[in-house]
Amino acid sequence: MIPLKLTLEGVYSYRTRQIIDFQTLSEAGLFGVFGSVGSGKSAILESMTYALYGQIERLNEKEQRGYNIMNLQSSSLYIDFEFNHNNEVYRFTVTAKRHKKDFNKVQSPERSGYIKKDSQWVPLPDEGIRGGISAEAVMGLSYEHFRKTVIIPQGKFQEFIMLPPSGRTGMIETLFGLERFNLSSKTSVLLARCREECSFLEGKLDDLQGLSPENLETMDQELDLLNEVIIQKTSDRKKQADQLKELEEILSLKQELSEIEKDLLEMESRRDEIRRKEEELVQFRRLDRLFSQDLTRQKELTRQNQEILQKKEDLTSEISSAEQSLKKQEAYWQRLLKDQEQYGDLIKTRDSLESAVKYKEMQELKERSVLVLKELEQSMKGLESEHNEMILHLENLDQEIVSIEEKVETGEQIKPLQDWYSRSSFLKERLLNQNENIKETQEQKRSSLSRLKELIPDVRIQPEDTASILKEKLMEVLQKEADELEKKRNSLEERKGRQYHLKLLAEMAESLQEGKPCPLCGATHHPEVISTAQEASIDEAEEVLRVSQNEVQTKKEGILEVLNRLEHLESEEEKQQALLKNMKAEKMTLNNEFIWKDYDRDNKDQLLQLEKDLAASKNRLKDLRKKRRALEQKTRESGSKLHNRENEKTKIHAELKSITLQMRTLESKIIPEHRQELPSGQLEDLNTRLEDLNRDYQSLKSSRRAKEEELQILRNEKYSLEISLQNNRKEKSLLEQSIAEKMQSEESPSLERIEKILSQPPDDEKERKIIETYYNAVQLLGEKKKKITVALQGKNEIQADPLELKNSLNELEFSILQDQRRVGALKTQREDLKIKLDQKRTLALSLEKQKIRLDNLKEMASLFKGRKFVEFIAAVYLNELCQLANIRFSSMSNRSLELVFQDNQILVRDFLNEGRLRHIKTLSGGQTFQAALCLALALAEQTGRGKGSFFFLDEGFGSLDSASLETVMASLRQLSREGRIIGLISHVEDLQQDLDVWLRVSRDDELGSRIQSSWKRKEEA
């Protein structure tokens, strides 16, 4: 993952929007993020993790994360993080808003993810994760994994080096998630499941115990016998069915022949009716062919002539009406034509009057504009004076601000002293807490000793006794108790043996009868028969012994638990005392670092007074800046007003010039008689007269043209009707002559009879079908009768009762069906038996495999018992981690040192002293830092983040001297040359001088945290 850009707004101390260009930082290979404590450096990393995973280190979901992460002076939060992963560009955003009415309520943040495709941001699929999408699916890293490989917790590795073996093993298990190798519980679960599976398979096999292959052979024999019987019965059924079918065919043919003869008689009775229909259809077709078309056309011509005569009469009336209307308008039309000749002179007079009116309006507008211009010039003089005074006041404020800023900058030089007092206070608090921890551990030890006294009150326990001494004493007492119980158990076993023999004799005694011989001694008299009354007393003794053994075992477990706890507390106290000693030494070193002669190391009042004066100067500076911003705003507003007035003045001058030009144009259009005085109302009267004249002329002209055109159309239409009427009369006369000639030549009936016949046309298609159907049916019936007669002649006469044949056939079919059902049932039983036999074989094989697996799981359970396997894996990881770290650590130490993991400890091999091993705590501060750094980088490589990777070192470098710091920086530069991109986060100023590319985070009381880059500062310079 390579970051490209990060945008912050409203996050922690970042009030205004800040943008970080990681591309420039990454190109440098090694860069830094610097700033004072609390400036907002770590907020950059937490913003990245919050955008990617919705989680941050300092706050969880229950701690009102949305409210606490948002800047208290902001109403919204915005994070936009772009990065490159596997040659793909991704973008993750977070947005949130504060409730408008409730300040303490922040809406749930909305988190989104995108991937860049063809220069477009395409949303990533939401995986249903609470709080929005997560980058885990993109990068293959969980939040915890990301915190270990991208943001490397160096301080945690220095703590890791100093931990005892047990603590180091636990820490490596946490870092690498080695708990997954704790297979004890998983093996136990698998073992229990395997046992259940074996029991289940054995139960299944018990259910199938009575089944064998011989049962299958018996069923096969029975099936063969039944199949032979069914074949014989099926053959008999076929013979009877064929005989019944032939008899039914003969009876059916005779029945069909009888029905055909009946239908033929019915058809013969309809023959005269069919012939009459044929004659009527022939006559209608002949008359229709000769007269139908002529008679239809004759009727159509008669109807058309009547319509033409009616239309002609209507047109004559309309023509007369139109001619009368035109005569009425003629006089008014002539008068309008005469008035139209004077229209041009009237237009010229109206234009002159209109120009004179506009000229007078322009003259009044010019006078008003001149007055406004004079007032505007007067107000501008006052605004200029006020604006100049504001500029002078602004310059005075700037001088005062510069003076106070110099005082504040001088006061900032006490920062190292503040840091010393802060470290001293922090160390003092740690000493108090460490003393409290030691007291608490000692109290827990006393409580554990009291618990031991309760468990074994007979043993005398001294306060100075250690856990190992107490273990020897208590184990000796417990062993004695266990030996006593073992003796009792052996005694009880002897009693149980004797009781067993007596029980056998008692069973024989129960069969003894007076007068009959004993099977052992042969006596016939039995005065005292053995009884089993002692058996109950032995069972009670066994129960008492079992309870005693359980009590001893419980007591032993409780004592061992307390002893283990005591051992842990002693080890913890030893570490706490060592840590306390280190803290006291650190306190002494810190006191020696106090170099300020003008201040008392134990008296902080002088510093507090300086801080108070510095705070007052900052507040004064803040007020002056606020006052300056307000005055600057007023100055800008005053300048804006002055500029607006100047624009307005220029606009008025332009308007006066335009008015003057318009007045000259209008003056040229006015006639002499209108220059001195305008006649009142003449312009309105003239406009009214012109409008009326023009409207009447155009209206009447259009109306006359429309009526003349309409009159011509009516005349043309009347002429066309007269022509059509003449043509129709000629055609009708010719038709009447043609009809008369056809009637004479064809010897047809009268015209009235012809019209009557043609007026009632038969349904030709229907009648034709009736006739065709009749003749077809007669023909078909004759053919069927002939065919059936031939078929009956070829049949042999069968002397049998059809009903008896059917009953016999049904009985035979029922018998076959019963046999088939029996065969089906036997087949089903056979298949079930075959399946169960297969199941039996499969279950037997599965049981054998499960028993083998059970033996293997028992072996695995014994191997994985406890945490030894996890500890072994942790040791392998630690060994590989040291070997990988030595690749760099050996180079950093000039081949003089290397890390060695041996006997569950991290040691150092010193090649300057014959390669002997010594404890890692003997390294100097700079060497310890180098070792921790190499271990951290080895961790990054173990998780697949090598060359070309990017990671932050969020580490305090303040504990290193200048030489160690230079060594560490040389190591980091070497890593950068190897292709790794490294970001440092620190408040150590000297580091900034060693880097070409860096970010500087500063915090302003009003604007919040601000980010400044080295390259932009160079550009400004």
Express each pLDDT in 910-924 by its tens digit.
988 888 899 888 888
DSSP string, 974-1008: HHHHTT-EEEEEE--HHHHHT-SSEEEEEEETTTE
Question: 334-348, 437-451, 574-588, 764-778: lowest mean pLDDT where?
Answer: 334-348
- Chain centroid offset of residue 236 CA: 75
Which of the pair, 73 or 132, is modelled with greater confidence?
Answer: 73
Angle, alpha carbons 85-88-94 (nearest 5°): 75
Look at residue 491 in the predicted model and tell me its pLDDT: 78
Decide if pLDDT at 216 tops 90: no
Q: Give the H/E segment covering residue 730.
A: helix 682-746
Residue that has been written with the tokens 């149980």 in this structure: 496
pLDDT in tens, 707-747: 778 878 887 887 888 888 888 778 778 877 777 777 766 66
DSSP string, 777-828: HHHHHHHHHHHHHHHHHTSPP----HHHHHHHHHHHHHHHHHHHHHHHHHHH
Contact between 474 and 456 (Cβ < 8 Å):
yes
**Fold adopted by 1-146+991-1020:** Rossmann fold (3.40.50)
Look at residue 838 in the predicted model and tell me its pLDDT: 85
Contact between 173 and 870 (Cβ < 8 Å):
yes
Helix/strand/coil (H/E/C) assignment for every residue in 167-232: HHHHHHHHHHCHHHHCCHHHHHHHHHHHHHHHHHHHHHHHHCCCCCHHHHHHHHHHHHHHHHHHHH
Decide if pLDDT at 818 tops 90: no
Task: Kindly state the tokens that stand for 942.
Answer: 């173990």
Alpha carbons 375 and 515: distance in angstroms, whole number: 160
- Average pLDDT (9-27) is 90
Listed in order, strand segments (DSSP E) in 46-87 are 76-85
Alpha carbons 207 and 593: distance in angstroms, whole number: 88
Decide if pLDDT at 760 tops 90: no
- 3-class SS at 953? strand
pLDDT band at 128 (very low <50, low <70, confident <90, very high): very low
- 3-class SS at 715? helix
- Average pLDDT (836-863) is 86
Look at residue 82 in the predicted model and tell me its pLDDT: 94
Sheet holding 120-123, edge to edge: 18-21, 2-9, 76-85, 88-97, 110-117, 120-123
Which of the pair, 9 or 790, is modelled with greater confidence?
Answer: 9
Alpha carbons 839 and 208: distance in angstroms, whole number: 9
Question: 178-187, 362-371, 667-676, 817-826: lowest mean pLDDT where?
Answer: 667-676
pLDDT in tens, 241-297: 877 777 777 778 778 778 887 887 887 787 777 777 777 777 777 776 776 777 777
Q: Domain residues of the chain, as ranges?
A: 1-146+991-1020
Q: Give the H/E segment covering residue 152.
A: strand 151-152
Average pLDDT taken over every residue of the chain: 78
- 3-class SS at 919? strand
Which residues contact residue 482 at a Cβ distance below 8 angstroms, ignoring those fewer than 6 apart?
552
Alpha carbons 515 and 509: distance in angstroms, whole number: 14
- 3-class SS at 573? helix
Contact between 340 and 698 (Cβ < 8 Å):
no
DSSP string, 501-548: HHHHHHHHHHT--TTS--TTT--S--SS----THHHHHHHHHHHHHHH
Largest Cα span, the chain: 184
Decide if pLDDT at 453 tops 50: yes
pLDDT band at 130 (very low <50, low <70, confident <90, very high): very low
Q: What share of the chain is helix, strand, coil (3-state, %, to 5)?
A: 70, 10, 20
Which residues contact residue 856 at a Cβ distance below 8 angstroms, ignoring those fewer than 6 apart?
none
Which residues contact residue 358 at a Cβ distance below 8 angstroms, ignoring those fewer than 6 apart?
666
Alpha carbons 1013 and 4: distance in angstroms, whole number: 15
Among 367, 352, 366, 363, residue whose Cα is nearest residue 675: 352
pLDDT band at 995 (very low <50, low <70, confident <90, very high): confident
DSSP 153: -
- Which residues partner with 89 through β-bridges? 84
- 3-class SS at 87? coil
Which of the pair, 86 or 899, is modelled with greater confidence?
Answer: 899
pLDDT in tens, 652-711: 888 888 888 887 787 777 776 666 666 656 667 767 767 777 777 777 777 778 877 887
Contacts 24+ apart (CB under 8 A), 660-663: 660/366, 662/362, 663/359, 663/362, 663/363, 663/366
Decide if pLDDT at 1015 tops 70: yes
Q: Where are the alpha helices (DSSP H) in 593-681?
A: 605-667
DSSP string, 390-446: HHHHHHHHHHHHHHHHHHHHHHGGGHHHHHHHHHHHHHHHHHHHHHHHHHHHHHHHH
Alpha carbons 750 and 317: distance in angstroms, whole number: 44
Question: What is the separation, in whole angstroms, between the first and last Cα of the chain?
Answer: 33
Give whole-number Cα distances, 539 to 156, 498, 536, 545, in Å: 62, 14, 5, 10
- Average pLDDT (541-558) is 77
- Average pLDDT (483-492) is 76
Alpha carbons 653 and 655: distance in angstroms, whole number: 5
Look at residue 506 in the predicted model and tell me its pLDDT: 63
Look at residue 114 in the predicted model and tell me its pLDDT: 92
Q: What type of residue sits at position 235?
A: S
Look at residue 747 in the predicted model and tell me its pLDDT: 61
DSSP 70: B
Among 52, 12, 47, residue whose Cα is nearest residue 132: 52
Task: Kindly state the tokens that stand for 779.
Answer: 């023909």
pLDDT in tens, 408-421: 666 666 767 777 87
Which residues contact residue 580 at a Cβ distance below 8 angstroms, ignoring those fewer than 6 apart?
431, 434, 435, 438
Decide if pLDDT at 1017 tops 80: no
pLDDT in tens, 307-346: 888 888 888 888 888 778 777 777 777 776 666 666 666 6
Decide if pLDDT at 115 tops 90: yes
Q: What type of residue sits at position 565?
A: R
Decide if pLDDT at 465 tops 80: no
Task: Kindly state the tokens that stand for 677.
Answer: 């005085």
- Average pLDDT (19-38) is 87
pLDDT band at 89 (very low <50, low <70, confident <90, very high): very high
Give whole-number Cα distances, 903 to 884, 894, 1020, in Å: 19, 26, 59
Question: Pairing relation of β-strands 1008-1013 and 998-1004?
Answer: antiparallel
Contact between 53 and 147 (Cβ < 8 Å):
no
DSSP 332: H
Question: Pairing relation of β-strands 2-9 and 76-85?
Answer: antiparallel
**HSE of 794, CA atoms in CB hemisphere, 13 A:** 8
Among 146, 326, 280, residue whose Cα is nearest residue 951: 146
Give whole-number Cα distances, 521 to 167, 525, 526, 531, in Å: 77, 11, 11, 18
Contacts 24+ apart (CB under 8 A), 250-255: 250/792, 250/795, 250/797, 250/798, 251/802, 253/788, 253/791, 253/792, 253/795, 254/792
Contact between 205 and 840 (Cβ < 8 Å):
yes
Q: What are phi and psi of 985, to 5 degrees?
A: -120, 120
Which residues contact residue 858 at a Cβ distance below 8 angstroms, ignoring those fewer than 6 apart?
191
Look at residue 909 in the predicted model and tell me its pLDDT: 92
DSSP 125: P
pTM of the model: 0.38
